[in-house]
Structure 1
Amino acid sequence: MIAIGIEELCRLQPGWIKGKRLGLLSNQASTDRNLTHSRDLLLAAFPGQLTSMFSPQHGFFSEKQDNMIESGNSTDPTTGLHCYSLYGQTRRPYPEMFADLDVLLVDLIDVGTRVYTFIWTVVYCMEVAAETGVKVVILDRPNPVGGHLVEGNVLEKECRSFVGMCDIPMRHGLTMGELARFCAMELGIDVDLEVIPVKGWRRDMFFAETGFPWVFPSPNMPTASTALVYPGQVIWEGTTVSEARGTTLPFEMFGAPYVRVEEVLHYVEQEGLPGCVLRPLMFEPTSGKWAGEPCSGFQIHVTDPHRFKPYKTSLVLLQALLMLYPQNFAYKEPPYEYEFERLPMDLIIGSKKIRQELEQGVPIVELEQAWQPQLAEYEKKRSSVFLYEA
């Protein structure tokens, strides 16, 4: 049976926590197997020690829909504790926010994708914790898309932003705890960092195999199936193509009024996209891009998660739309995640050069071959922070 970090912390009650003032970085998805929230577990296990709370992008209740929709500081209605928003007036905590705590506990669901911002909030917290002498403890959780598969080009330094502050590929293959260790190592953050590992999790497990209930960590991550496609489908955020926000299947679907599904299928049929089926459909978003307009596109059905390559699949589809509809296709203009000058697509892909090569029609297989040396180097580095066996 799997036991996640918060469950293990409450069971083990390590000596270092006795009498310490605790802060908790979490959101509404930070629950145990019985859907009890972490703050309630901490209140029961360590009464009187929880002093403050913190929330990441989308707010504590995961109610804010899109990027750059901020949430303010609040009072937690359950505990009466102050909850600092780390996606509002600031994304980096002010040192005074840590003034009344000794240990910052982090219990957040990561979805195995570089552009998901929760890890970058953790990086900012680690930097401030290093400055203020606060200990950071990651209450680890499984990587829902597995810890055995990595995919994509490694982020280039000139494309660093709040959707990538450390040089990792799109699908990084680490848990939140491992990723925090990796970032601390690579970015030289001298923080007192500890990880409470997941008991019983293996690297080759997908979320469906964990036996845990899925609680959505952000409003457009409604199911574990969404997480499977997200490492690729998130690229549509850098375009005017709808990633199906404003529908019940965000990221699993995509499209635009000008797409002709037969043309796209013909274009991609030689690429070899294993582990999935592209099912043509129409959808009409109720909000966001193309709201109220019928969009022609696809739903990606993952048939074999071990063979499915989300990043390659979506790059192939992106290049198809670039080549087939040059008069209709457009990139999203800045701002994007507080970057007001650089093209959002470059930040998402993590490389201006690769974006340009996609536009030039360079085959995806050639792009994959070109980034293998950097990916191999990343593989060596990431193995040094592993906490789990395959």
Structure 2
Amino acid sequence: MKNKVLCGADRIVRDGYVFNGRCGLITNHTGVLKDLASTVDILKDVCNLVALFGPEHGVRGDKQAGENVSYYTDQKSALPVYSLYGENTFEAERKISSLDTLIFDIQDVGARFYTYQYTLTDSMKICAENGVKCIVLDRPNPLGGMRAEGTILDSRFSSFVGRFPTPIRSALTIGEFAMMMNETERISCDLSVIPMDGWKRDMYFDDTDLVFIQPSPNIPTVDTAFSYIGTCIFEGTNISEGRGTTKPFEMIGAPWLDSGRVIDLMGNCDGVILRECSFTPTFSDYKDIFCHGIQLHITDRNLYSPFSVGIKLFDIINRTHKEFEIEPFLFNLTGTDEIIKPDFSAEDFIKRETEKTIQWRNFSKKWHMY
């Protein structure tokens, strides 16, 4: 039995929210109501909506990771669209400063690497500087709200894939994250969050009666979002993280990877089975090149620690493959450079980071709404 959940966007219609003055909307293809009607269409009927703002992947979610999106007019709504991702954000920032209210409605995935949350906090800073009201329409954390895990970001490695001292998996909704950052990072904008109805912290996304719309091209399923917590770190190496396949982040591999040996050294992992596989990416790393790979099959989400599995995979591959290469971007993803030290112990590292994350989660409860 699915749990009935209403997102913040649904409550606009049900509760008759009123938005003042000239309004802008940060959204993408995930900004929909329960009946899949676009938030853009709904807001056009209830407020003076004058502009749309797109995060990474664009307002319609059709751009690949890192692809720059320029200013254009949305064909369906006839509204101007400004990009908040990449180098050309000046026009977007200037437009936000001219608004009375900025609304945010995007489905996040609950991972520190995911850039939508930093699009939000950057916009909150612009709002604070210009006296613009910011309203977040809350949505579920697909990974639930109970378990946080992963390294706490070292400020030396702050970037657009990890800006604040949070764990990789925060267990916060996007609204809770906004409230926490508004206070802890002293953004101090005029922020309101329209909460969900019916969501509880022990719910994964597919425990709800909501439709999961892939938040970006390479997060097609809820299971992908889980494994993304652990395997995204391979973006900072010469291991393919499965982009260009139908199972991104659920498979990793390379032409030179000894998959069987790695799996043997991994041993049994709680909540997930590792299987030898092969794939040939159609784009991204190793495009059109046959790769030996490892696929992660989740058997129990409550037991599965994607962060622990990802760190152990990294450590084993690093110790057993001379072909393995690391790029500085790795540290932006992991939030630390400890994992490449000669005396690195994956088990000890995971234990220490788990203790830190438990402390962080207890601290973050101040901003829990559910």
TM range (shorter): over 0.9
**Matched residue, 1:364:** 346
AA in 2 matched with 1:32 = L
Indicate which of 299, 317, 324 corresponds to 1:329.
324
Shift in Å, 1:363: 2.7
**Matched residue, 1:387:** 369
In the alignment, the residues of structure 1 paired with residue 93 and residue 114 of structure 2 have an alpha-carbon distance, to the nearest angstrom, of: 24
Shift in Å, 1:99: 4.1
Greater shift in the superposed pair: 85-94 or 277-286: 85-94
- Check whether the contact 1:166–1:186 (CA below 8 A) recurs between aligned residues: no
Cα distance change on mapping 1:91 and 1:110 into 2, 3 Å: farther
Q: Cα deviation per residue 1:314-357 (whole Å; 9 max; x = unaligned)?
A: 111111110110x210123xxxxxxxxxx1001100012x2223
- Check whether the contact 2:230–2:310 (CA below 8 A) recurs between aligned residues: yes
**Matched residue, 2:105:** 107
Q: Cα deviation per residue 1:163-201 (whole Å; 9 max; x = unaligned)?
A: 111100001110000001111111101100111111100
Cα distance change on mapping 1:218 and 1:344 into 2, 3 Å: same
Structure 2 SS opposite 1:377: helix
**Matched residue, 1:339:** none
- Check whether the contact 1:170–1:231 (CA below 8 A) recurs between aligned residues: yes
Indicate which of 189, 196, 199 corresponds to 2:197.
199
RMSD: 1.5
In the alignment, the residues of structure 2 paired with residue 14 and residue 287 of structure 1 have an alpha-carbon distance, to the nearest angstrom, of: 44
- Check whether the contact 1:4–1:197 (CA below 8 A) recurs between aligned residues: yes
AA in 2 matched with 1:301 = H
Which residues in structure 2 correspond to 1:79-158 (within 5 Å)?
79-91=77-89, 95-158=93-156
Cα distance change on mapping 1:103 and 1:64 into 2, 3 Å: same
**Matched residue, 2:279:** 283
Q: Cα deviation per residue 1:263-285 (whole Å; 9 max; x = unaligned)?
A: 1112111xx52101112110000
TM-score relative to the length of structure 1 = 0.91
Percentage of matched positions with identical amino acids: 33
- Check whether the contact 2:73–2:81 (CA below 8 A) recurs between aligned residues: yes
Indicate which of 329, 332, 335 corresponds to 1:347.
332
Residue ranges of structure 1 left out of the alignment (5+ in a row): 333-342
In the alignment, the residues of structure 1 paired with residue 286 and residue 94 of structure 2 have an alpha-carbon distance, to the nearest angstrom, of: 43
In the alignment, the residues of structure 2 paired with residue 35 and residue 97 of structure 1 have an alpha-carbon distance, to the nearest angstrom, of: 28
- Check whether the contact 2:148–2:358 (CA below 8 A) recurs between aligned residues: no
Q: Cα deviation per residue 1:281-316 (whole Å; 9 max; x = unaligned)?
A: 100001111111111111111111111101111111
In the alignment, the residues of structure 1 paired with residue 275 and residue 89 of structure 2 have an alpha-carbon distance, to the nearest angstrom, of: 39
Which residues in structure 2 correspond to 1:1-390 (within 5 Å)?
1-15=4-18, 17=19, 19-44=20-45, 46=46, 49-67=48-66, 69-91=67-89, 95-269=93-267, 272-325=268-321, 327-332=322-327, 343-352=328-337, 354-357=338-341, 360=342, 362-388=344-370
The runs of at least 4 aligned residues of structure 1 exceeding 4 Å deviation read 91-95
Structure 1 SS opposite 2:358: helix
Structure 1 SS opposite 2:217: coil
- Check whether the contact 2:30–2:215 (CA below 8 A) recurs between aligned residues: yes
* Residue correspondences, number: 367
In the alignment, the residues of structure 1 paired with residue 207 and residue 170 of structure 2 have an alpha-carbon distance, to the nearest angstrom, of: 19
Greater shift in the superposed pair: 178-187 or 96-105: 96-105
Shift in Å, 1:35: 1.6
Shift in Å, 1:379: 1.6
- Check whether the contact 2:149–2:354 (CA below 8 A) recurs between aligned residues: no
Cα distance change on mapping 1:355 and 1:91 into 2, 3 Å: farther
